[in-house]
Amino acid sequence: MRLTAIILTLNEAEHITDCIQSLDWCDEVVVFDSYSQDATAQLAEAAGARVGFAKFENYAQQRNAALDFVTTDWVFFVDADERGSAELGAEIRRVMQRQEAGWHVPRHNYIFGKLTLGAGWWPDYQLRLFQHGKVRYERPVHEVAVVDGTIGHLENPLIHYNYRNLAQFHATQRKYTAYEATILKRDGVIPKFHTPYTMPLRHFYWRFVTLKGYRVGLHGLYLSLLMAYYEHQKYRMLANSFE
């Protein structure tokens, strides 16, 4: 059975070559690009990947279009800022002989350059490995993989170079927060006057205590506080939308 790694890209020239090289245990690497304005496509081809293009509409549509672009027995979705390893590749080759239709992959997240094994960033399972033809994606943002069959969990992690600096962190969280506030309103959630204050406290406790952010010391404390702040922002946006 053959395996294709699929990398969705938009202006990922900084990462794409290293990402492709880390997946040299795959039979094929496909870079499915949203018409990048940098050298992503050219660098991908130079690194040996096959390149496809589709105009970006939403994340589910883009992943489904990428699935239609490949023909191998298995597909493995990887982000450009992630890296594979020989150990992960060997494990994937083993499970491809089994009957499961999909597999969750854990991730080692490096946040601000530090491996973060707490506060919700470990094991950070991502549903990424599938038998081709047994998965389609739904929901435009924070897309959901709908799998026809059973799902397992791998042991070896992807390496994820997540949030290089605080500016990138804030930019990403602002985007997610605005989207999540609209989803809460769509689902009929009406906040009370105290919700923008009590929910961040609960979120901080969940990150720092329940999800063991304390295990990574001040780094875990800092991340838990940052995420609690964006929980406050989410419910403040939701409350303001009813004014």
Burial status of residue 222 (CB atoms within 10 A of its CB: 0-12, 13-18, 19 or more): middle
Give the pLDDT of residue 140. 75
| Digit-coded pLDDT (tens) for 103-143 | 999 999 999 999 999 999 999 999 999 999 999 999 876 78
Domain assignments of the chain as residue spans, ordered by start: 3-162, 166-240
Q: How far apart are CA 231 and CA 128, in angstroms?
A: 27
Instruction: Provide the whole-model pTM.
Output: 0.91
Give the pLDDT of residue 143. 87
| Digit-coded pLDDT (tens) for 167-201 | 999 999 999 999 899 999 999 999 999 999 999 99
Q: How far apart are CA 71 and CA 132, in angstroms?
A: 8
| Digit-coded pLDDT (tens) for 28-71 | 999 999 999 999 999 999 999 999 999 999 999 999 999 999 99
CATH number assigned to the domain covering 3-162: 3.90.550.10
Q: How far apart are CA 158 and CA 110, in angstroms?
A: 11
